[in-house]
Structure 1
Amino acid sequence: MTGLVAAMRPQARKTPDPRAVLLAEWRALLDSRPTPPRARDAAETLGVSEGALAEARRLSGEATALRDPGGPMGLVALLGALAPLGPLLALTRNGACVHEKTGVYAAPTPHGSMAQTLGEIDLRLTPAQWVAAYALVEGSADRPRRSLQVFDAHGEAVHKIHATEATDLAAFEALVDAWADPLAPPHAFTPRPPSRPDAPDAAIDCEGLMSAWARLEHSHAFAGLLDRFGVGRAQALRLAEGRFARRLRPEAVEAALCAASRRGVALMVFVGNRGAVQIHSGPVRRVEPMGPWVNVLDPGFNLHLRADRLAGVWLVRKPSIRGEIHGIEAFDGDGALIVQLFGARAPGQPAPPGWRVLVEEVAGEMAC
């Protein structure tokens, strides 16, 4: 009788795994499209982060969680294991620009709370933002696409590493086996909190900021200068307008790329997010606008820029002990940095005069 009563009691319903629900939604989306959407676009359509979608794909075997080895560099240490794989495609992006470089990774070196890789793949990294990593196998069974993808705490992609035709796939798979963490609990990505607004202009010591700017000795000290005065980057350029910054039309970025291509002026092209900044140093040759996109389509380097998302473009002048450094900096409507262009130069050397001439001509034509 006791067993019968127990059997008649309502059974507690199992809460479905949200990853399984998301995976089903992902598959339904794929079935509804003639061309599979990119994971970032699909995640946006489904109302989740790209990291959450990668986590859900662990259930189908498409994604494998990778272990965090700990230590000051955390998941950034993964880059130190990549050299035996041969050439890889490094991808770093933000909401308006994608930067792709092909080459062999060098081991990262720490610099306080930061790290960097030099050589063919040139990166500046913030290890604290490298929170979760996955190995993914996408595409078809006869043409699989293999990648390693790293996300921040909010599921936004920090850095991606794609196998190429020249990659040693056996070494790639051995690396995944060595770093796999199949028992890792599901990672719960959290929504990104709203960005903190800039302080009111009246609260900024503008004269102190300008005075310290004029005394800069190295361009990499600029970020510390902004922190010291509690000023946002785009805000600082606006406050420095007429002294160290000149406002340009959004078309200035495309104009500078096209002029560099025509004249053979080598550039440094920086694109980043909160966890990684990726740098191309060298020529840009094939510049092709396509709809809202401005593209650089060169062997070993691709850039894809959403020109329609450029809300603020500036010519910026920074003093240094080796002469002034001139660059073009572009921002989105929220004041987030999208892309920076500088003249390519050897470490410790000024930019070649061709860049200075080019950027001044572009600024003259594209001034607001």
Structure 2
Amino acid sequence: MSLSLDQKSQGDIALIWKTFKSINTNVRIRDAANILGYSEAQLLSTSCGESVVRLKPDWENILFSIKSIGTVMVLTQNDSAISKNIGTYPITKYSENVVSTIGDKINLRLIMNNWRMVFAVEENNEETTLRSFQFFDENGTAVHKVYLTKESNAQLFNDIVETYRDEDQRPLQHVEKCENISKGNILPKINISEFEKKWLKLSDIHDFQKFLSKYGISRVQAYNLVKDQLACRVNNNGINKILLLATEKCVPLMFFVQNTGVVQIQSGFIKKVKQIGNWVNVFAHDFNVQINKGDIHSSWIVKKQTDDGIVTSFELYDRNEEKIALIYAKRDENRNIPSKWTNLLNSILPKSVRDK
């Protein structure tokens, strides 16, 4: 159902948003949207005609143009994790509704059938002008943002804006009403022994979600069903220990942060880990991942079979069983998993299920 907004109600949103910003100068627009009960796109659109330009939803050509801008910062987030990466926007490879963009430093999976709107934004502060392209889903939730850096070509940004400027620049945005659908606790009848055997016969990690879908269950539901040797729930403080040990032992990691429209993948050695409030901040040379530890409801060490052997991940979920972040060890050039990764995971696993 569409959430219809007339000019008056949008004017109310603009006033509410302006007042909120004047009082809460350090609150992210995503958090402000949740507090105020509007979508991020609705708040952003109140500045259309000023610092915001609504663009035509020509995803393919806009993304192709962005890669010519030079070095950018890409940002993908969900409610509990933020992934930032600096580099040149990579070449896109289109396959149905999923676009793979793999570059030297930026690795993305774009689920573009869930994209609905895009804005070009210029934010001025005392030091500089921050320019970005921001993409949203049908609920007005941000799925992907691309920010210019000091090395970016600002003139190309302006050219893209003029080329794809939408005729409609009214300061209002229609979005679909967001329905919170509970996954529920009712499980279909499953032969657990058979389920575990089929789990172990998987040869490609990318088939895991399809495997679960056939049974009509979520990842967390599956993890609760199987034996600990396949999926073991661990203490939520494990995230700190894993990250600190990976930094100390120089274990390269891969971070997967996902929302309805994008999966952003970061990989490399961690330089520093710092917790600020609830947020655990992971710093590397070209990327930064932030995880809201307060939102972690369950943490799992999960083993999946592949043609190259067992792949083990450390996975974080919120209380709605939505993914916060998935963490893997980065393979070496021979596709081998560092043995130190096993030692890291053993440090938070019960003795009965530790790998030798």
Q: Would the alpha carbon gap of residues 344 and 66 (structure 1) be closer, same or farther in structure 2, given more than 3 Å must change?
A: same
The answer as to whether partners of 1:241 and 1:247 remain within 8 angstroms in 2 is no
Task: Please say if residues 76 and 130 of structure 1, whose CA atoms lie closer than 8 Å, have aligned partners that are also in contact.
Answer: no
Superposition pairs for residues 213-292 of structure 1, below 5 Å?
Answer: 213-292=199-278
Shift of 1:51: 1.2
Q: Distance in 2 between matches of 1:65 and 1:346?
A: 43
Q: Check conservation: 1:65, 1:181, Cα contact below 8 A.
A: yes
Equivalence for 1:68: 57
Identity of aligned residues (%): 26
Taking structure 1 as reference, are residues 208 and 104 closer, same or farther at Cα in structure 2, changes over 3 Å only? same
Query: Residues 149-164 of structure 1 correspond to what in structure 2 (within 5 A)?
Result: 149-164=134-149
Supply the AA of the counterpart residue of 2:150. E
Aligned with residue 178 of structure 1, among 163, 167, 170: 163
Q: Is the 8 A contact 1:85 1:171 kept in 2?
A: yes
Aligned partner of residue 243 in structure 2, secondary structure: helix
- Partner SS, residue 250 of structure 1: coil
Unmatched segments (≥5 aa) in structure 2: 1-5
1:30-109 equivalent positions in 2, closer than 5 A: 30-33=21-24, 35-59=25-49, 61-69=50-58, 75=59, 77-109=61-93
C-alpha distance in 1, partners of 2:255/2:285?
A: 15
Superposed CA deviations along residues 192-217 of structure 1, whole A, max 9, x for unmatched, are 11224256235334333222211010
For 2:17, which of 26, 42, 55 is the aligned residue? 26
Structure 2 Cα separation of the partners of residues 267 and 310 of structure 1 = 20
Q: CA deviation at 1:142?
A: 5.7
Between 289-298 and 144-153, the greater mean CA deviation after superposition: 289-298
Q: 2:106 aligns with which of 121, 138, 145?
A: 121
> Which deviates more, 182-191 or 236-245?
182-191
**TM-score for both structures, normalised by structure 1:** 0.88
Correspondences of 1:345-360 after superposition (within 5 Å): 345=331, 349-360=335-346
Q: What residue number does 1:331 align with? A: 317
Cα 1:89–1:359 shift into 2, 3 Å: same
Q: Distance in 2 between matches of 1:349 and 1:217?
A: 15
The CA distance in 1 between the partners of 2:150 and 2:115, in whole Å, is: 27
Conservation of the 8 A alpha-carbon contact between 1:204 and 1:231: no
Does the 8 A contact of 1:55 with 1:63 survive in 2?
Answer: yes
Moved more, 316-325 or 239-248: 239-248
Cα distance change, pair 153–347 in 1 and its aligned pair in 2 (3 A):
farther
Instruction: Specify whether residues 347 and 299 from structure 1 end up closer, same or farther in structure 2 by C-alpha distance, changes over 3 A only.
Output: closer
Shift of 1:152: 0.5
Structure 1 counterpart of 2:13, one-letter code: L
Structure 1 letter corresponding to 2:159 = A
CA distance in 2, matches of 1:359, 1:40: 33
Counterparts in 2 of 1:114 and 1:271: CA distance versus 1, 3 Å: same
Measure, in 1, the Cα distance between the counterparts of 2:42 and 2:286. 30
Question: Which has the bigger relative contact order, CA under 8 A and spacing at least 6?
Answer: 2
Q: CA deviation at 1:298?
A: 3.0
Q: Secondary structure at the match of 1:363?
A: coil
1:350 deviation in Å? 3.3
Does structure 1 retain, via aligned residues, the 8 Å contact 2:136–2:143?
yes
TM-score, structure 2 normalization: 0.91
Partner of 2:3: none
Contact 1:323/1:350 (8 A) holds in 2: no
| Structure 2 counterpart SS, 1:203 | coil
CA distance in 1, matches of 2:332, 2:57: 35
Gap change, CA 1:233 and 1:164, over 3 Å in 2: same
| 1:350–1:230 distance in 2 versus 1, CA, 3 Å | farther
- Root-mean-square deviation (CA), in Å? 2.1
**Which of the two has greater strand per residue?**
2
For the structure 1 residues 76 and 199, does the alpha-carbon distance in structure 2 shift closer, same or farther, using more than 3 Å as the test?
farther
Query: 1:109, 1:347 → 2: CA distance?
Result: 23
- Structure 1 residues 108, 196: CA separation in 2 closer, same or farther (over 3 Å shift)? farther
**2:309 maps to 1:317:** no
Q: Matches of 2:10 and 2:297 in 1, distance apart?
A: 37
Inter-CA distance 16–169: structure 2 relative to 1 (3 Å threshold): closer
